[in-house]
Amino acid sequence: MRSSEILDLRRVRELVVAGWTGRDIAALEKHIRELEAIGVKRPKTAPIFYRVAASLLTTTDTIEVLGDQSSGEAECVVYSLDDGLFVGVGSDHTDRKAEAVGVSLSKQMCAKPVSREVWRLEDVAVHWDKLILRSYVSTDGRRRLYQEGSVAAMRAPTELFKLYCGGPLPAGTAMFCGTLAVHGGIAPSETFEMELEDPVLGRRITHSYRVKTLPDQG
């Protein structure tokens, strides 16, 4: 089995969140409607690329957010580093209240938890579409499946790179590659668990974090 490696976030200088990356137009429309239901406007283009601070990336097991109107989204995260391309799993944790004001604003407001473990992209490139994303949320001690599906639902990383910058992803850049529709509607949670499964090589990357809410005093 090909080995995994440990991510050093100090090597990441730029962070890009790719949104509305779905290949399936019907599934993409479903996700857009989910967001419209909570007041988020349709994107100007699909896909669309949001630049956010690289300092938001974290491998810690707890994040702090303002109020109780934020939620996670499991995504593949691809890193372009000096020694190659790597992929892990991350959560584009987003403030949903702020999202109704501006998506770029909401992306910038929350930490972006990511797995410490990553795989070399070249080791999964041939069977990329067989990878599976999955997430679970827990509230009041009740854990439930929140997202599950093949990464084939989203555009491949190489296609996103080309759409974003016209070629390879520059070294020192991390990109969130898009997410899946959720089960039961977008909802906040006390904990968020995510995983990227490789059924071909029989392995998976996991990460979980607790959400600590800070009081919103207006």
Model pLDDT, residue 201: 96
**pLDDT tens readout for residues 147-169:** 999 999 999 999 999 999 999 99
34-43, 112-121, 182-191, range with the lowest pLDDT: 34-43
**pLDDT tens readout for residues 93-134:** 999 889 888 889 999 999 999 999 999 999 999 999 999 999
* pLDDT category of residue 183 using cuts at 50, 70 and 90: very high
**pLDDT tens readout for residues 80-93:** 999 999 999 999 99
Model pLDDT, residue 89: 98
- Please state, rounded to an integer, the average pLDDT across all residues of the chain: 94
Model pLDDT, residue 39: 79
Q: Indicate the pairing of strand 191-198 with strand 203-214.
A: antiparallel
Model pLDDT, residue 24: 80
Q: How many domains does the chain have?
A: 1
* pLDDT category of residue 10 using cuts at 50, 70 and 90: very high
- Tell me how many degrees the CA angle 93-97-103 measures, rounded to the nearest 5: 65
Domain encompassing residue 167: 5-214
Model pLDDT, residue 65: 96
Q: Is 90 exceeded by the pLDDT of residue 12?
A: yes
Model pLDDT, residue 1: 52
CATH of the domain at 170: 3.90.850.10
Model pLDDT, residue 111: 98
pTM: 0.93
